[in-house]
Amino acid sequence: MKSVLATTLALMTTAAQGIVIWYVSTEPGNAGVRQTWASERWICDRQGHDITEQYLDNNISYAYVDRTGLGNGCTLFEDVGCKGESVSIKKSEVLGPGQVNLTDVNFDNRASSWSCY
């Protein structure tokens, strides 16, 4: 019985943490160079969700979060280590993914790290 309970708790913990699928591109409207990430929630400093791709660091103009999975969205940060000014990209449960042109929220070409929630 203890092993069944331990296994159940382990599975529940893994599922609760969840994975967020989200996308960015270097141009508004999902144009330009595109990148897809599968990101665990609530992680930044421990695993370094810094944008290390030179072509993306401070060069993201569009982001959206896929509506699948347990996550609610992702936050882009201006500095590495999830620090500095930020913008939240929330998924839309009703109409599909939440899509954001970062030019519309004054965060164009500023992102250097991220964390999903």
Report the pLDDT value the prediction gives residue 85, as an integer from 0 to 100. Answer: 97
Q: Is residue 6 part of a domain?
A: no
Q: Is residue 4 part of a domain?
A: no
Q: Is residue 26 part of a domain?
A: yes
Cα torsion 43, 72, 33, 105 to 10°: value is -100
Range of the structural domain that residue 28 is part of: 19-116
What is the domain-level CATH number for residue 107?
A: 2.60.20.10
Q: Is residue 13 part of a domain?
A: no
Residue 83 is which amino acid? K
Total tally of structural domains belonging to the chain = 1
**pLDDT digit string (tens) for 27-65?**
999 999 999 988 888 777 555 588 888 899 999 999 998
Residue 62 is which amino acid? Y
Q: Is residue 102 part of a domain?
A: yes
